[in-house]
Amino acid sequence: MGKAIVVTSGKGGVGKTTSTANIGTALALQGEKVCLVDMDIGLRNLDVILGLENRIIYDIIDVVEGRAKLHQAIIKDKRFNDQLFLLPAAQHADKNAINEEQMIELIGELKKDYDYVLIDCPAGIEQGFKNSIAAADDAILVTTPEISAIRDADRIIGLIEQTPIKAPRLIINRIRKGMMERGDVMDIDEITRHLSVELLGIIFEDDEVVRSSNKGNPVVLDPDHISSQGYRNIARRILGDTVPLMTLKEEKKTIWQKIFGKK
Amino acid sequence: MKQAVSLKGIKEGYQLIIPASASLRSVLEELTELKTQLKKDAHANHQIRFFVKTGDRRLNEEEQKQIIQIVEDDYFKIDSFESNVVSIEKALEWHNQSSPTLEVRNVRSGQLLQTEGDLLLIGDVHPGGTVRATGSIFIIGQFKGIAHAGFAGKENAVVVANFRYNAQVRVGDNVHIIEQKESDEGHTDESEFVYVNDLHIIEISPLEQLKVIRPEIGKYAGGLT
């Protein structure tokens, strides 16, 4: 029996979908069998980030309404050897096309076959959010160091606390080292203390995330990038490893490193 | 048959003692009998007051009315019904009014924590979070949201907290906006309290003043008042 984890944030644009794609891919790289479920019905884009857009034949609403079998709708990511799968959202329906009971049944089905089921939650706290958390065993909360995202995250934690899900774990995304060091934004400790939830990981701002997402390759596939390292650490922590947090300090090159071009 | 209801003369009139073990029907019968007896004996031309004591029994309104109907007339008057017991509902109401509710949690954005009586919150009130009590509110933790004391209209309620962040305090119908204190200048880490003064204006005072301004806080009697 697998585990269903919902990736949520409240506010839009903080990196839920990107995080879902990358954590899912990182878990698959660790040898887990993962299914990603896009719940952003009407505004799907998890498939785009994974580069699977052209493979969609059936979607989650087709499954719920009985037009397709579950295994017909699930898309296999060919880059992995039977490790990563996607259940795409519908584009021609809205968030009310599915309800909590159907979700619980659907995710229950998926948990039988997969080690991890990652649910990409839509922004907001309406039906789409309710559906997404209804079937989850665990929650990952994505926020950025911006006050608006943190405020929404706080609201989401409050809502999740009212469900049987245990306290969500936090990812602080898009951290700009310089700004945080100068104190322009809340630092990692402040955010974690304010929200009083467990910190799952931090992701530094990295142009490569957008660049690789645009090509349909999650950034985590390339281990050289700082954001990729962040997502890999998060995946390992989900699996129960103890991985130290990446440091915030900007490394200053010594004169010798500059001369010899070392990193 | 042994009489269940007994009559006892006191200064103010008569105590009518109805033991809890007696069935109501026989009590009513006895009362009717007693009434005719008393009527015969009574020579007084002034009103006689009765105080009904029901021991460990609580009479509901219907039952009280029945007894009143039997006993009362031009000269006989029932002054009060007294019993040694109260309903659980009433007891809880007193309990909630007189003992503060202790909550150990954070009140997050969008959440509402509401209590009867006083509230002691150990934890933070986040921006967008609301705590509300019919009595006073005491916050141990960072207070950045909204605290509404005496929301059912109790104007002598207070809010005790550390007012150093942006927040809003309401007492009864009065609202007070608290601006975040800039830098360390002029701010203390100490708690203060907000209350409504005699002119119905909200004021903040240092905690030492609490005992002077609201001496009744912390001295709740509770119970039958």
CATH of the domain at A176: 3.40.50.300
- Region B110-139: mean pLDDT is 94
For Cα atoms B129, B132, B137, give the angle at the middle one, nearest 5 degrees. 105
**Nearest chain A alpha carbon to B145:** A151
Compute the distance between CA of residue B94 and CA of residue B88 in angstroms, rounded to an integer: 10
The answer for residues whose C-beta is within 8 angstroms of residue A15's C-beta and 6 or more apart is A9, A142, A144, A173, A174, A203
pLDDT of residue B12: 83
Q: How large is the average pLDDT for residues B82-97? A: 83
**Interface residue ranges in chain A relative to chain B, Cβ cutoff 8 Å:** 151-152, 154-155, 157-159, 161, 194, 196
The set of residues, in sequence order, having a beta carbon less than 8 Å from that of A133 and lying 6+ positions away, is: A6, A8, A121, A139, A159, A160, A163, A165
Tens of pLDDT along B142-161? 999 999 999 998 999 999 99
Tens digits of residue pLDDT in A102-142: 999 999 999 999 999 999 999 999 999 999 999 999 999 99
Decide if B109 and A158 are in contact by the 8 Å CB cutoff: yes
Greatest alpha-carbon span in chain A: 66
Segment holding A86, helix H or strand E: strand A84-87
Report the SS3 class of residue A229: helix
Q: Would you state the pLDDT for residue B171? A: 95
- pLDDT at position A50: 93
All residues of chain B having their beta carbon less than 8 Å from the beta carbon of residue A196 are 106, 124
**Inter-chain residue contact B124 with A157, CB threshold 8 Å:** no
A151, A152, A156, A193: best to mutate for the B interface, most B CBs within 10 A? A151
Please report the pLDDT score of residue B225 as a whole number.
42
How many domains is chain A built from? 1
pLDDT exceeds cutoff 90 at B11: no
From the list A151, A152, A196, the residue facing B106 with the nearest CB is A196
Structural domain harbouring A108 = 3-260
Q: Would you place residue B91 in the very low, low, confident or very high pLDDT band (cuts 50, 70, 90)?
A: confident
Q: How far is it, in rounded angstroms, from Cα B210 to Cα B223?
A: 24
Closest by CA position to B203, among listed B213, B194, B191: B194
Angstrom CA distances, B47 to A41, A170, B14, B64, B113, stand at 81, 77, 11, 20, 53
Minimal CA separation from A105 to chain B, in Å: 30
Amino acid identity of residue A71, one-letter, is H
pLDDT (0 to 100) of residue B161: 95
Which residues in chain B have Cβ-Cβ distances shorter than 8 Å to A157? 108
Task: Report the range of poorest mean pLDDT among A23-32, B46-55, B200-209.
Answer: B46-55
ipTM entry: 0.76
Residue type, A117: V
Give the gap in angstroms from C-alpha B198 to the nearest C-alpha of chain A: 38
Give A152's contacts in chain B (Cβ within 8 Å): 109
What does each of the 263 residues of chain A score in pLDDT, given as a tens digit?
A: 899 999 999 899 999 999 999 999 999 999 999 999 999 999 999 999 999 999 999 999 999 999 999 999 999 998 888 999 999 999 998 889 999 999 999 999 999 999 999 999 999 999 999 999 999 999 999 999 999 999 999 999 999 999 999 889 999 999 999 999 898 999 999 999 999 999 999 999 999 999 999 999 999 999 999 999 999 999 999 999 999 988 766 556 666 666 776 54
**What CATH class does B97-213 carry?**
mainly beta
Let me know if A31 is exposed, middle or buried by CB neighbors in 10 A (0-12, 13-18, 19+). exposed
Q: Inspect the interface and report whether the beta carbons of A155 and B124 lie closer than 8 Å.
A: no
Q: Which residues of B touch A (CB under 8 A)?
A: 106, 108-111, 124, 126-129
pLDDT at B183: 59
- Are B221 and B98 in contact by the 8 Å Cβ rule? The answer is yes
Q: If you measure CA to CA, which chain B residue comes closest to A161?
A: B108
